[in-house]
Amino acid sequence: MGAAETAAVLGAVLLLAGAIAPLVGLPGGIGLCLQAGGIGLAGAVGVAVLCGAAPIGSGFHGDLTPALGVDGLSGFFLTTIAIVALPALAYGREYLRGAPRERLLVALGGLFLLSLGGVVTARDPTTFLAAWELMTLAPAAAILARRTDSEARHVVFVYLAVTHLGGTGVWICVLTLAHYGALANPGAMAEGGVAAQTVVIVGALVGFGTKAGLMPLHAWLPRAHPVAPSHFSALMSGVMVKVAIYGLVRVLFEWAGPVPLWVGLTLLAVGLLSALGGVIFALVQRDLKRLLAFSSIENVGIVALGLGAALVFLWEGDRTWAAFAFAAALLHVLSHAVFKGLLFLVAGSIERTVGSLHLDRLGGLLGRMPWTGGAFLVGAAAIAGVPPLNGFASEWLTLQALVHAAFGPSLGTGLAAAVAAAGLAATAALALFCFVKAAGLVLLGAPRGPRAAEATDPGPAMRLAPFFLAACCVGLAAVPGLLLPALVKLAPGAPAIGAHPSLELPGTGSLPSPWLLLGIVVLSAVAWRVRGERRAAPVPAWACGQEEEAALQWTSAGFTKPLVLVLQAVLRPRREVEVTRHGGLVASVSYRGEVPHRFDTHVYRPLRSSALAAAALVRRIQSGSVRAYAGYLLALVLAMLVLLRVGAIG
Amino acid sequence: MSAAVAALVALGFGVIAVRRRSHATVLVALQGLILGVTAISREGGESGAMAVAGAILIIRAAAIPLLLLLARRRTPERTLVAPTTSVATRLLVATAVVLVAVAATPPLGIADRVAEHGAVALVCLGIATVVVRRPALLQLLGILVAENGVYLLAIAVSGGVPAAIELGVLFDLVLVVTVAGAFAGKIHERVGSGDTDLLRGLRD
């Protein structure tokens, strides 16, 4: 057994020990340390394999014998898991200390990491599906371990219902692939006929798409992420949805490939809907975690756009650009994992300190919580795609791929890619708007509540974990080109490209990320130097003669009002204004407004009503009479006999 | 074999028609006796197989009816459960079901076509008994009639069914009768009657 194999086995054993340790009475801290050691080793193995070391463990097979292994793609996702999990575990050490059911939450965290690692390293259908189900159940248990109120129970019910209904797609897809032997022999699916391949692809799109949070299968995501413990939210939003992307990539680019054109176009359409829909709904949220959850949908949409472009390029036979689009999607997977993990950890710190994540109760936290606020600022800038941070690098690469596809040989795919490119550009602008709002309301201005006014940074672990992820954002932004060759190599039939610190693309110029970053640092230093000792003179703000108070600042609804007005026909906001008068004078004005989630009202509610109506219809035959049931049985036996006799069956 | 099949089906009609549970139990015991004797007569003198067939005869013709009679004694009805349909209607339904079933029976791969028809007729008669009879014990007897149909098919298979399977089925049968008897007792204890139609009130 080589060093990599030993490290992988040791990592898995440590993770398992870390999950079991709290259950046998050991302190939660020991469990978290063991888990960190385990996932750290697994991540190191992932990095080694991604950077060119030989794949380890077993290859894929369709038997029932459990098998594990790490190849380049698994290595990339293991690395992503480790990068988010390590700070999340360190954060959890402090976040969970003294919390009710601390040990259980630590154990569930370990189980969750095991299942995440299990999905990306599984080499047989049994292990894959078992790890997949465990990955669904562990966060549900963690939510219930933390909260048992009716809201949390309802959220868990919706989460389990939607992800399990979607999960049937994963089962159908994986078992069909195993049946045709396509797990071990990619290409076997194409010989299995169009119908079988279509079943696999639709199963994958529904199953993995649901877990990834692609619209319109996202109903669980904005509900479940906000109620989970924060380090769990970071893993769910940062990593779990990416593991679903892993499944989608495996099926569409490897096991079921080569796929027909409609798959690429479907991914482009779903990606565009998710990206635009996600960011628009994120904009109108008033709870920070819910805003971040919708923003995850947006980013998964951007990843889907990259994957869709890659499939379109593959169909056109342009393997070079297919590889770049594929690498763009993977780079965005990593980027989003890092900054979304960061933002959820920061949200946890703010919630712990201020007691609320309602945007209209926060404010002024940059000065009061400089570590947390600073990390939040970097994360918000990165997710908003502010150059040259990592979010910009991956979005730029995706946009380049889409623009290149728009000039492709086929008019239809060209038009689709052009629309997608325009949609991505709009998404980027709206994301900037969204995170200007979030950062402004959370970090700047005066505190909007007494607890926000007294907020201070949490302890070292909860300070340093987001800081580490912020450093990762900057690091990834500095040299994305060094990572690109490793990601390009993972695409099917990819060409070899050289490593440059900048993002170098054939025919469309390059993104000199390191020089941009260096330029910004130098300019900032010069500006700092030039400023010298001068400071802005604080003067009272002019508030039209009113007394200046925190309530006069921007509110969440006020900031996004122009956009809501423009999109009124789509969003259909509800407003209620109540004016109370005394003696002809206005004594008070109360305002209530909300933007309903129209997918709930227009998609899920009718679906639920139809399902309930169908259930009521079926319930009529559930008479409760033993004799009636025996009657159904008798009718069935006679019908079967008759069908056999006439040769309809058998 | 044809006479035995005819007797079995006639007894099945009897179970659906008679009013008293004890009478129906005796009819099912007679079915067990006929099946047991038929099985022994087809074994051809091999001692192990004869022992199995003998055990089956004792359990089907004696032990199970005894269990049922005990269950009946534990659940005395103050008044007879009023039948939902008259005897004539019940017999008419049963005849129609048997005729459809026999007419529709495809070749099941057994050389003896009469046994195939008889087995299907008994299975359908048994289920029809559960449909038209309300007392729990009579419904249990219907299940036994259906099971006797399956057993008839088993003994008609040339070369017979392995002893392990026969004994396994027998064990299941005793288990089913014991559990069903216990449930019938419990239903009687709770609702004061073995009338399963009263259980409809339990539906939410």
Q: ipTM of this model? A: 0.89
> For position A279, what pLDDT does the model report?
93
Report yes or no on B187 lying in a domain: yes
- Alpha-carbon torsion, ordered A152, A156, A159, A161, to 10 deg: -130
Closest CA to A462 of A631, A349, A593: A349
Which of A297-311, A635-649, B36-50 shows the highest mean pLDDT?
A297-311
- CA–CA gap between residue B51 and residue A290 (Å, rounded): 74
Instruction: Please give the pLDDT value at position A639.
Output: 92
Q: Kindly state the tokens that stand for A99.
A: 């919390």
Q: Assess contact for A321 and A401: CB atoms under 8 A.
A: yes
Question: Of B141, B105, B116, B117, nearest to B28 (Cα)?
Answer: B141
Q: What is the pLDDT of residue A347?
A: 92
Q: How many domains, in total, are found in chain B?
A: 1
- For chain B, percent helix, then strand, then coil, each to nearest 5? 80, 0, 20
Residue B95 within any structural domain of the chain:
yes
Contacting residues of B for A616, CB less than 8 Å apart:
none
Contacts of residue B176, defined as CB under 8 A and 6 or more positions apart, other chains included, come to B143
pLDDT digits (tens, 9 = 90+) for A547-566: 777 778 888 888 888 888 88
Task: Write down the pLDDT at residue A602.
Answer: 84
A65-92 pLDDT, tens digit per residue, is 888 899 889 999 999 999 999 999 999 8
Residue B204 forms part of a structural domain = no
Is position B60 within any domain? yes
- A626·B123 Cβ contact <8 A: no
B57 found inside a domain? yes
- Which chain B residues are Cβ-neighbours of A645 within 8 angstroms? 103-106
Confidence of residue A388 (pLDDT cuts 50, 70, 90): confident
Asked if the model's pLDDT at residue A646 lies above 90, the reply is: no
Tell me which chain A residues have a C-beta less than 8 angstroms from the C-beta of B123. Answer: 637
The domain containing residue B150 runs over which residues? 2-198
User: Residue A204 — very low, low, confident or very high, per pLDDT cuts 50/70/90?
Assistant: very high
pLDDT surpassing 90 at residue A119: yes
Give the pLDDT mean for A230-236.
Answer: 83
B106 to chain A: closest CA residue: A645
Residue B110: what pLDDT?
81
- What pLDDT does residue B44 have? 67
Which chain B residues are closer than 8 Å to A638 by Cβ?
Answer: 97, 100-101, 104, 124
**Is B7 domain-assigned?**
yes
Strand A574-582 to A503-504 pairing: unpaired
pLDDT per residue, tens digit, chain B (204 aa), is: 788 899 999 999 999 988 888 889 999 999 999 988 888 887 766 777 788 888 888 888 888 889 888 888 887 776 666 667 788 888 999 999 999 999 988 888 787 888 899 999 999 999 999 998 888 888 889 999 999 999 888 888 877 777 788 888 888 888 988 888 888 888 888 877 777 777 777 766
3-state secondary structure of A71: coil
Lowest mean pLDDT among A38-42, A233-237, A341-345, A501-505: A501-505
**Which residue among A623, A624, A637 places its CB closest to the CB of B127?**
A637
Count of CB contacts below 8 A, A vs B? 60
Strands A574-582 and A69-70, bridge-based pairing: unpaired
* Residue in B120, B127, B197 closest to A634 by CB: B127
| B128–A642 C-beta distance less than 8 A | no
Distance separating alpha carbons of residues B109 and B115, to the nearest angstrom:
11
Q: Which residues contact A180 (CB under 8 A, 6 or more apart)?
A: A188, A189, A191, A192, A196
Q: Do A626 and B101 touch (CB under 8 A)?
A: no
Rounded Cα distance between A308 and B56, Å, is 67
Residues of A at the B interface (Cβ-Cβ below 8 Å)? 622-627, 630-631, 633-634, 637-638, 641-642, 644-645, 650
How much is the pLDDT for A249? 94
Q: Tell me the pLDDT band of A650, cut-offs 50, 70 and 90.
A: low
The predicted structure's pLDDT at residue B129: 92
Q: Are strands A503-504 and A69-70 parallel, antiparallel or unpaired?
A: unpaired
- What is the pLDDT, as a whole number, of residue A170? 93
Q: Span A37-47, mean pLDDT? A: 92
| Whether A394 contacts A382, CB under 8 Å | no
Q: Say whether A645 and B124 touch across the interface (CB within 8 A).
A: no
Closest-CA distance of chain B to residue A185, Å: 41
Give the closest-approach CA distance of A632 to chain B in angstroms. Answer: 9
**Bridge partners for A574 per DSSP:** A594
User: Which residues, in sequence order, are CB contacts of A101 under 8 Å at separation 6+?
Assistant: A145, A146
Give the nearest chain A residue to B201 (CA atoms).
Answer: A624
Domain membership of residue B112 (yes or no) is yes
Is residue A327 pLDDT above 70, yes or no?
A: yes
pLDDT digits (tens, 9 = 90+) for A464-478: 999 999 999 888 888
Q: What is the mean pLDDT of residues A17-26?
A: 86
In percent, how much of chain A has pLDDT > 70?
100
Instruction: Evaluate whether residue B56 is within a structural domain.
Output: yes
**Contact flag A650-B203 (C-beta cutoff 8 Å):** no
